[in-house]
Amino acid sequence: MTEKQKIINIAVIAHVDAGKSTLVDAFLNQSGVFRANEDVADCVMDSDDIERERGITIYSKNCSIMHGDVKINIVDTPGHADFSSEVERIMKTVDTVILLVDSSEGPMPQTRFVLSKSLEQGLNPILFINKIDKKDARIDEVVDEVYELFMDLNANDEQLDFPILYGIARQGIAVRDPADAQGLSVEAGGSKIKHTPEGYAGLNITPLFDTIIEHCVPYPDLREEPLQLQVSTLGYDDYIGRLGIGRITQGTIKEGQTVAVAKEDGSIAQRKAGQVFVYRGLKRTAVSEAECGDIVVISGISDISIGETICDSKDPQPMEMIHIEEPTLSMNFMVNKSPFAGKVGKFVTSRHIRERLEKELEVNVGLMVEETDSTDCFKVSGRGELHLSILIENMRREGYELAVSKPEVIFRRDENGKKLEPVEEVVISVPDEYAGTVISKLNLRKGIMVQMNGENGYSKLEYHVPTRGLLGYRSEFINDTRGEGTMERRFLDFEPYKGEIGGRSNGSAIAIEEGVCTPYALFNIGERVQLFVDPGTKVYEGMIVGMNSRGEDMEVNPCKAKKVSNMRASGSDESVKLSPPRVFTLEEALEFIDDDELVEITPDDVRLRKKLLKEIERRRAGR
């Protein structure tokens, strides 16, 4: 038998915005994946449109590089807590993780989550302190904080003996001693990674490559064992259909081989594998055979699902199913029944929505879809507001029309029947002048302060807050801190119900007829209402056109035209001046609505409306 190729699989894990995708860029640039004259975008692994627009990673992705005679498969993972189900699956496919920590921020809530998952899997991490060129870097303190985090998570002696590197991922630099990179600073607007093996200022990423080789033993030779390949991710190709992606734990797999698929219910199904692909750089390359240790892509098995094991057809040995933490938030997805329904969208019926949600369930394991009493409504549960809003945004861009309700927290009962609710750890950094307002608001939302520190004019607050209390708070937080505060969240646990939390303090301004908004009407309404619409906007009865300055709802007529008569006015008419309307993003709309309201989503518009459009129906329901 030929000598087995040396393979090491690594994942890059961190809190959001620590620089994971940027570090993977440096790996690819300095390993010769791109030509010297090739123009490469930043965060090249974030290929999804929404990922690029928002600057975040949503879906874990694979690539590979060669360092000497060792093939290193790299998995880039999301940092947001809402997409942590991606991280949970990936931990079973890698040999080690690179834990990225910002030299100024230190470990953040999501750092704890991703690290805990890697330690539970028995992995021995490599610590990379990133952005050491920051003016407010506190490298030694951050390293101490990471040690404390490891001990809090009950890391064993081997895991505590982790190697530490320091660097600037954006410039493709890694050093074993931070003094080696002193004097380097990022130029205004950020400096580009050099697309050469030389890196920057004579420094490069090679020390991190070397540490990976030193720290990890290449995958053992288990080619003679029966095949085991657990599917951790699903993909789709327009030409070859559904793809199963995962690491071959043992054995080998060939193109066209007959295999056994161990299903979630314990049954075994005989299937025929189609093409076999491995990663070379960013590209999938077809091979005739792949061996244990490598991350592969398998086509041809149309009913493969995440967590299932592709086994030897004669000696199937299933692996334990991947456990994913349950959803904490739900909302209703329903057919759009507004007067403007069907004018823009391509997919508008309950059958369309059902099929799209079923398709999403195949690849989005953190999602849950349940039937309701109505055939036009589906209860969709996820890991957070961002998790569900990304799904809605994708559906909107694909041409779907739908209406969604206010997000609701999923409650549980303990063994004694006591009501439990999800609680989150919230870490806030805010200028000292706004700290009082933030503390006051979080206390009203049943938050409990755990810790408060101050440094360089900023207060760092750590709170435990019910997820219920955080719904709709992000926009309020941004306004209260004039955009200068940061808020990071992580699911903590289910705790006893904290009691009632007050809702929105302002009522809605509701249109009483269908028509087109006029400047005259909006000018008169605008004295009492913060407007959500412009002159010329089409509205319908029951649509929300603004926010009342008082606590109750108010019916208004934004389509009222100025009466025209042949009597000359005593004064000259002045042109109407209106304040710019408040424009909602999808997330802001979901945060704003109340229990009796919906967000109407079409490919062109995001509108707010009452569940009951007629005023008389709302009055009857309010009795």
Q: Residues annotated in the binding site for GTP, as ranges? A: 17-22, 130-133
Do residues 98 and 32 touch, judged by C-beta distance below 8 A? no
Closest C-alpha to 167, from 63, 66, 56, 22:
22
DSSP 367-404: -EEEE-SSTTEEEEEESSHHHHHHHHHHHHHTTB-EEE
Residues tagged in the binding site annotation: 17-22, 130-133
* CB of 588 closer than 8 Å to CB of 386: no
CB 43 within 8 A of CB 55: yes
User: Exposed (0-12), middle (13-18) or buried (19+): which is 131, by Cβ within 10 Å?
Assistant: buried
Token couple for 311: 């086994």
Q: What strands lie across the sheet with 544-548, from one edge to the other? A: 529-531, 544-548, 508-511, 554-556
Nearest in space to 247 (alpha carbons), one of 163, 322, 303: 322
CA 285 and chain centroid, separation:
28
- Output the six-digit token pair for 565: 């008569």
Other C-beta atoms lying within 10 Å of the C-beta of residue 316? 19
Q: Three-state DSSP class for 134?
A: coil
In whole angstroms, give the CA distance from residue 548 to residue 25. Answer: 48
Give the Å distances, CA to CA, from 369 to 85, 163, 234, 414, 460. Answer: 16, 43, 18, 23, 38
Category of 276 on φ-ψ map: left (φ > 0), alpha (ψ -120 to 50) or beta: beta
- CB atoms under 10 Å from CB of 141, counted, come to 12
- Phi, psi of 528, rounded to the nearest 5 degrees: -115, -5
| CA 467/CA 489 separation, integer angstroms | 10
Is the sign of the CA dihedral 285, 295, 274, 4 positive or negative?
positive
Please, are residues 588 and 475 in contact by the beta-carbon 8 Å criterion? yes
Measured between alpha carbons, how far is residue 197 from residues 35, 146, 193 in Å?
A: 11, 30, 11
With vertex at residue 366, the alpha carbon angle to CA 361 and CA 369, rounded to the nearest 5 degrees, is 50
User: Could you tell me if 73 and 99 are in contact, meaning their C-beta atoms sit under 8 angstroms apart?
Assistant: no
- Helices 109-120 + 139-152 axis angle, to 10: 50
